[in-house]
Amino acid sequence: MRATPSPSHSRTGRTEAQGSRQSEGYARLHVTPLSIRYARTDLTYRRREHIVANQLWETSPHLALRAGSDFDLAALDRSSTPGFTGSKSDGKARLDERADLLSELQERLFAHSRHGGTRSVLLILQGLDTAGKGGIVRHVMGMVDPQGVALASFVAPTEEELANHYLWRIKKKLPQPGKIGVFDRSHYEDVLVVRVEGLVEEEVWRERYDEINAFEKEIVDSGTTIIKIALMHSKEEQAGRLLERIERPDKRWKLSPSDLDTRAKWDDYQEAYQDVFRLTSTEHAPWYVIPGDKKWYARVAVTELLTQALIDIDPQWPKPRWKPEVQRRRLLETVDPALVDDLVEAVEEQLKDAKAEHGDFLAEKARVAELRHRDNGHRAPSINGNGGRAWAFLRHRTATPRARQSRRRLSRSATSRRRSQRSHRRRSARLSRRRPRSRRSDRLPLRVRGVPGLCRRLLSGLLGPRGG
């Protein structure tokens, strides 16, 4: 209940009650969102039921979708869902779960760039017509703040672009620090379309593979993470999607007669894509080939790859260059003292919400990191200092019964060993307190005690009696 101000005012025009109320406000607002210390138990175990859902990904998409040197596009099942064991409804639920995590990671990346950060992400989307590139942009990038996204679509080059190097127009659209750049088609059109359509000589487009690899290496070295996505749907699926565009009035604007000309050269484009995967899937910028017949799976896979890439970057909220307590005091001095209590209560509620959201964020982040590192064969690192508890819980739920039993035995032996060590330290401490105080010479290190006398005895034995 708000106290009634006293009629007696001080020299500054404020009552004693108002002054005490503002002082109380200073104390209650001492903790700011950037300096909150969250309890570990709240961080890790707040969303156990969501953490268990991580088992929908049997294999990390970084491994399940990566095109290696032996990748065979002709053997790809375009309707499969590599690594993902869930259904369509599970996939949509996964997208909803990832939305908050992806949004905060993108906001952190953007905020960090405003204070000197140099990292960015480039998402390259390749695929034939109706592969689902536009759906990825709407459904995946629609989860984040649009001011942190730089979208570029590369259609047939203009006369100005043709007059320059084929990478000239690409360099102009590279994402700035803090941005997620999205390329709807890319520089790979210059080794796909120009090859199949015969726009340049074979010697020209064959040289471009090495140029592209060197170009992407420069981009990565400058601080940009490249995620190359190839959406590969089947010829039958493309026929159905093209027919839908022909028949539906609201879809006809997407269709161009040239799309059917491209479809007539389906096999040539498949061969060109095979060479792209074989020659440009590098360690610094690998290709992820996603079966595209199921749009929902492609969106889930791209979301997972993008989220894991941002977690690898690990953007942090920048620290302010000003002191929160000073600015807080300045602000409250401008607030009506009668409103301080209401203001403080409102901010305290916001801090509670921020704490809960931060706990959800860390739990989701730990879940994604566990999925990535589980397939790499080593322990996932601690996420933002929560002591690895989320990893311990996830490892317990994902291991086989025999592995869990073995782990329990090891854990019990390690626990007993630690208890024995603590007991030994306590016993040693008690004995040291009971030991009588010794002489100063006894307290000297062993390597110092008695050394001069020993040296004299050795020298006398070597040199013999004086005057001998």
Q: Could you tell me if 107 and 145 are in contact, meaning their C-beta atoms sit under 8 angstroms apart?
A: yes
Distance (Å) of CA 443 to CA 429, 435, 449? 17, 12, 9
Nearest to 213 by CA among 193, 252, 187: 187
Nearest to 219 by CA among 255, 287, 170, 157: 170
**282/284 Cα distance (integer angstroms):** 5
Q: Which residues contact 448 (CB under 8 A, 6 or more apart)?
A: none
Handedness of CA 152, 153, 154, 160 (dihedral sign): negative
3-state SS class at 279? helix
Q: What is the pLDDT of residue 378?
A: 41
**String of b and e for 149-161 (b: at least 16 CB within 10 Å)?**
bbebebeeeeeee
Residues of the chain with CATH 3.40.50.300: 58-313
Give the DSSP per-residue string, 163-204.
TS-TTHHHHTTPPPTT-EEEEES-TTHHHHHHHHTT-S-HHH
Q: What is the pLDDT of residue 3?
A: 46
Nearest to 73 by CA among 228, 277, 292: 277
Give the DSSP per-residue string, 357-369.
HHHHHHHHHHHHH
332, amino acid identity: L
Q: Decide if domain 58-313 falls under CATH 3.30.830.10.
A: no
Q: What is the pLDDT of residues 62-101, one digit of tens each?
A: 999 999 989 999 999 999 999 999 999 999 998 988 898 9
- Name 232's bridge partners: 291
Q: What is the pLDDT of residue 139?
A: 94
Q: What is the pLDDT of residue 185?
A: 96
Walking along the chain (468 residues) 10 residues at a time, the average pLDDT comes out as: 46 49 47 35 35 69 92 96 93 89 93 92 97 95 93 94 96 96 97 96 96 97 97 97 95 93 96 97 97 96 95 90 86 82 79 73 71 54 36 41 51 60 66 52 42 47 48
152, amino acid identity: A
Q: What is the pLDDT of residue 454?
A: 47
The whole-model pTM stands at 0.67
Residue 432 φ then ψ, to 5°: -65, -30
Distance (Å) of CA 165 to CA 157, 175, 303? 11, 19, 33
Give the DSSP per-residue string, 91-117.
HHHHHHHHHHHHHHHHHHHHHHHTTT-
Residue 191 φ then ψ, to 5°: -125, 5
3-state SS class at 123? strand
Q: What is the pLDDT of residue 261?
A: 94
